[in-house]
Structure 1
C-alpha cells in the first residue's frame, strides 16, 4: 500500500498542530511509520486519503459498536442538527438517555452528562471527595482515567506508593493526594489505606483497556468493595470504555461487584463527544444545583450528542442477540490469533470480553501493568505494520484495546487470520 497523501497531510498538520495530531497515540510513535489520515468510514471499514481500505478494529477507540456511518444513528443526528446544534438549555432527550442508563444499572439512580470521559471522571472524583469530606484517592498503575491533573501520576519511590506527576505542568501538590496501587493486587490497596485515613474513593477500570486489555479478577473486585466499605471510601468504576461494550450492563454484567459511582463515555454518544457519571441518589444529590459540589458545562447534554447516544442505545436494546454475536466474533478472532502465533513459534497472550479484545506479545499471562510492560513492543510494531499492509487496522499501541463492531462478519475475521498467519511467519 502507498501512503503518499497521508505523509503529505501529516507534514502539513505538524506545522499547525503539536505533533500533527490531537491525541498523542494517533502519531504512530510506538509502531513506526506515518499516521493514516482518514477520509471516511463505512461499516467495518476505514478508508484513508490514499484510498486504502482497512477492516477497522479500533472503531474510534470504542464508540462505534454498530460500525461507521450507521444509518439509524446518522438519521438521528441529521434530524437533531436541523433543529439546532446547541441550546445551553435542557432538552427531553437528556432525560430519556439518562432514564435508559438508570434503568439498566441498579447502582445508578441519577446521571449527569458531560462532554468527555476525562470530564466525567474528574467530576465523579470531585463528587466523591465532596460526599466523603476526604481528599485522597487511590488509582491503579496502568489504568487511564483521562488527563486531569490528579490522575496523571506515576509510581513514587517510597514503600507506600504516593503519586508523582507523570507530566510537566502537573503540580506535585495535586498528585500528593493520589495513591497508586497494583492492579489485581488487594494487598497493595490495603497498604494505601494503611498509609492514609483520608481516602475519599478508589477508582478502577474493572476491565482495563489502557494498559492493553486486562480484565480484573472477580475475587479482587469483591475484596476491593469490602476494603472500601470498611474504610468509608466510595468505589468508582470507570466504564468509559467497557460500558455497553463488555455487555449490556458493562462490567457489571460480567462481575457481581457493585460500585458507588460509574463513569461512561464512548458508546453512549454513538460517536459524538460525550461523557456521563452516575450513582445512588444520596451521592448524586450532593451535586449542584441540589447540593454544594459544583460541576457545569456549556455543551453538557448537547442535543446532537444525545440524539446519537439514544439511537445507539435504542438499537442495542432492540437486539437481544447483539452481544452474543459480538462476543463470538471477538473469541473467534483472539483464538485464531493465538493459534496462528503458536504455529509461527511466537508467544502471544490473548483475551476478550464481549466486544472488547486484546493481545500481548508476551511469554506469560498479563494481570497488571508490570506484566504488560514485559511485552515485546518491537514485535507488536512489526505486527501492526504488517497488518496495515494486509488491510487491517489495529490500535497503534501494544497498550490499547481492540473492538469488534456488528458490521464485521466471519469472513472478515477469517481473512484477518489468514493475513496474521502470513505476518507472523514473516516476523518469525
Structure 2
C-alpha cells in the first residue's frame, strides 16, 4: 500500500497560499477523490514523489515527454544553453533554426511565431484570423479545450444556431456573443451555424483529434468537410495541435489525416518540456502579425533561448528518427489490447479510443464520438479505478476527460506490468 503523508501535508500547506492548492485545476484530484501527489523528480518512464514512491507515468506532462522524462538529448541541449544566459529579450539564431524546422515538418505552416504556451498560441491565432478576415465570430466545438482564453470558455447554447453563454465567471456576454458552439464530429451542425451567420464567421477552431473530453477521433470526412466549408465561405480553419503536433506523426494530425488547415497552434512537444507554444500557417495570414502587419502580439519571453534549445533538440530527434512513431504505435497497441482482454474477462462495459500513442478508457458500452457521448461514461467507477492504479504505482490522468500519453521509455516489460496492474485495479474497483 503506497502511503503519501508528505504529499498530504504539502497539499494542506499549499491551500493557504495557492488557490485550491494547485496551479492548474485538474491537479487537485477532485474528479477522482483523494489528494494529489507532489513530485520531486522523474526519469524515463517514472516519476518520484515527496514520499519516495515511484510511478509509471502515463501523463508525461500532458504529452510533451514523448521520449520519457529527462531525455538525454534534451537535457544536454539545455545544459549547453544555460551558461549563455536564461533570457535575452532579443533575437537569436536558434529562433530562426527552429522556425525553419517547424516549417519543414508541419504541412500547413509557411511562417510561425513563437509564444510561451498553448493558450497564448490559440488566443493569438483567433486574433489573427479576425484581423485577416475582418469578421468577429468564431466556431468552436463542445469538449475541445483551447486554453483558458475568454473566447474558449463558452458553453453551448440551447440549439444548433443559438449563441454560446459564458462558462466561467469573468467571461463577458459580449465575448460569448461572438463564440458559436457545435458538437464535435457533427458537420451538419457547423453548416447550420455558418448559414445562420453568413459572412460573419472568421474562424473555425478545433482539435483535429480531441484530447480533452477523453480521446475522441474525427469521423470519416469530418475534417475534410470542414476544410471544404471554410474554402467555400472564406473562413480560416485552425487546427489546435498543441497535443497532437509532433506526437501522432512528425507533421501532426494534419499530416496523418491529409487535411491542411490555414493556421495551426502548437505546444507541448515543441518545447521538449519547457513552457513553449507557437502558431503558424499560410504566409498571407501570418504576414498580418506585427511588425509585418497590423495585428498586434508580443511577449518578452517568446523565443526564450533555453526553451528554443530544448525544442530544437526534441524536434530534430523526432525528425531524424521516424521509427519513434512505429515504436509508440506498437507499444500503445499492446497496452490497449491487454486492457481490452482484461475488461472482457471481467465482463465490464467499456470503450477504448486510441490513435497512435494517445488513448482513453471510457466505462460505457456505447461508442464515444463527441462530448455528450463521453459523458455516458461511469465516472464514479473511473475514480475507483484511478485510485487503485495509483496504489499500484501507475500514474494516470486524474480525470475521465483527459487523454493518456505513452512514451518511448515504456518497455515491453513495463507493458506487461501495466496490463497486470490494470486487471488487478479493475477487480478492486468492481469490489468497492
Question: TM-score category by the smaller chain?
Answer: over 0.9
Deviation at 1:190, TM superposition (A): 0.8
Q: Any residues of structure 2 matched to 1:337-352 within 5 Å, and which?
A: 337-352=339-354
Distance 1:71 1:426 in 2: 38
Partner of 1:284: 286
Distance 1:362 1:100 in 2: 42
Distance 1:220 1:53 in 2: 41
Q: Any residues of structure 2 matched to 1:103-122 within 5 Å, and which?
A: 103-122=104-123
Distance 1:363 1:380 in 2: 14
Distance 2:371 2:243 in 1: 17
Deviation at 1:317, TM superposition (A): 1.8
Deviation at 1:151, TM superposition (A): 0.7
Deviation at 1:69, TM superposition (A): 1.0
| Contact 1:357–1:403 under 8 Å retained in 2 | yes
Q: 1:42 to 1:159 in 2, by over 3 A?
A: closer
- Paired positions, count: 428
Partner of 1:154: 155
Deviation at 1:161, TM superposition (A): 3.3
Q: Which runs of 5+ in 1 are unaligned?
A: none
Runs of 4 or more off by more than 2 Å in structure 1?
none
CA distances 1:46-71 after superposition (whole Å, capped 9, x unpaired): 01101110100000000111111111
CA distances 1:64-108 after superposition (whole Å, capped 9, x unpaired): 111111111111111111100111111111111111110012321
CA RMSD of aligned residues (A): 0.9
CA distances 1:23-68 after superposition (whole Å, capped 9, x unpaired): 0000000000010000110100001101110100000000111111
- Secondary structure at the counterpart of residue 60 of structure 1: coil
Partner of 1:334: 336
Distance 2:291 2:201 in 1: 25
| Contact 1:128–1:234 under 8 Å retained in 2 | yes
Partner of 2:203: 201
Q: TM-score, normalised by structure 2?
A: 0.98
| Contact 2:215–2:360 under 8 Å retained in 1 | yes
Q: Any residues of structure 2 matched to 1:27-426 within 5 Å, and which?
A: 27-197=28-198, 198-426=200-428
Distance 1:242 1:156 in 2: 28
| Contact 1:334–1:359 under 8 Å retained in 2 | no
- Secondary structure at the counterpart of residue 16 of structure 1: coil
Deviation at 1:157, TM superposition (A): 2.4
Deviation at 1:343, TM superposition (A): 0.8
Distance 1:139 1:227 in 2: 15
| Contact 1:129–1:200 under 8 Å retained in 2 | yes
Range moving further from structure 2, 350-359 or 381-390: 350-359
Deviation at 1:336, TM superposition (A): 1.1
Range moving further from structure 2, 408-417 or 112-121: 408-417
| Contact 1:218–1:255 under 8 Å retained in 2 | no
Deviation at 1:318, TM superposition (A): 2.2
Range moving further from structure 2, 39-48 or 357-366: 357-366
